[in-house]
Structures are given as structure tokens and as C-alpha cells.
Homo-oligomer: A and B are copies of this chain.
């Protein structure tokens, strides 16, 4: 789904809720839809202010919360104390592996793991609705540097 489609989706979601479209909201959403990183609120605010310097902190917070609720953005917590957002992946959900030295993030998806998760949950009487799985370790670059040091 391209940014324009997403703007339409958002528009539909908003009119369904009686929300109004504004230039700030549109610009923040569009800017976000064009990112392909795990962006923090602060980074997004910076990006957005390059063009619209009047935009406030609160509006970025509010807009990303809205995108999150509407299912057009995913919020992620990687343990550095800041919430990050990413666009919905085209190929379904994925999990993350994060380098504990340089913070580089790689993504993966493993249906076998998820089947085993459901199975483990079932044994305990639970039904899984969603999950959070993050691996922490060294990326290839940082592992090399470690060996050299």
C-alpha cells in the first residue's frame, strides 16, 4: 500500500469517527507513511518541522496515536525508553533483532516459531492474540569489531 492509499484509509477512518482533517495531521501522516524506519516521535517531529515549523509536539503525539489506533502504524518499544513507530509491513507482521552495540535492527518472520508459541500457550490454557518477540545480540559488523579488539 502506497502513501496515497494510506491517506485514503486514514481519511475513511477519520470520517467514520467524526474527526476532521487538518493540514498538520495530513502532513504528519504523509511524512510518516513515507518513512521506512522505526522512527521515534522526536525524529518524526524533526522531519515534520523542516517544512512546517509551527507544528507542535502534542500534535505529533496525537497523530501517531491516531494512526496506531486506526491500524496504520505499529508502535514498538525496544527498551531504550522511547516509543518508535513503523509502517505496516506489506508481508504481514514481523519480529525484530536488535544489535546491542550499534542498535541496528533486522526483521524476520518465522511461522514455525509462532506455531510453537500458540502451542505453548494452549498447554497453559491461554489463547494468543498477539506477541512481542525481540532478540538482542550482535550484528555481523559489531561481532567482527569485537573480534578485532
- A: which residues have CB within 8 A of B? 77, 79, 97, 99-100, 106, 108, 110, 112-113, 116-117, 120-121, 123-140, 143
If A133-B132, A136-B132 touch, whether A143 touches B117 (CB-CB below 8 Å) is no
Residues of B with C-beta under 8 A to A117: 113, 133, 135
C-alpha gap A137/B62 in the complex (Å): 27
Cβ B136 vs Cβ A129 within 8 A: yes
Residues of B with C-beta under 8 A to A79: 77, 132
If A108-B120, A110-B120 touch, whether A135 touches B126 (CB-CB below 8 Å) is yes
C-alpha gap A108/B122 in the complex (Å): 11
C-alpha gap A77/B143 in the complex (Å): 27
Cβ A97 vs Cβ B128 within 8 A: yes
A14 to chain B, nearest CB (A): 27
Residues of B with C-beta under 8 A to A123: 108
C-alpha gap A77/B81 in the complex (Å): 11
Residues of B with C-beta under 8 A to A139: 125-126
Q: Would you give 10 A-B contacts (Cβ < 8 Å), ordered by A?
A: A77-B79, A99-B126, A108-B120, A112-B116, A113-B113, A117-B133, A121-B137, A126-B139, A128-B136, A131-B133
Sorted nearest first, the 9 A-B pairs with minimum C-beta distance are: A125-B140, A128-B137, A106-B124, A129-B137, A133-B133, A131-B135, A108-B120, A127-B137, A132-B134
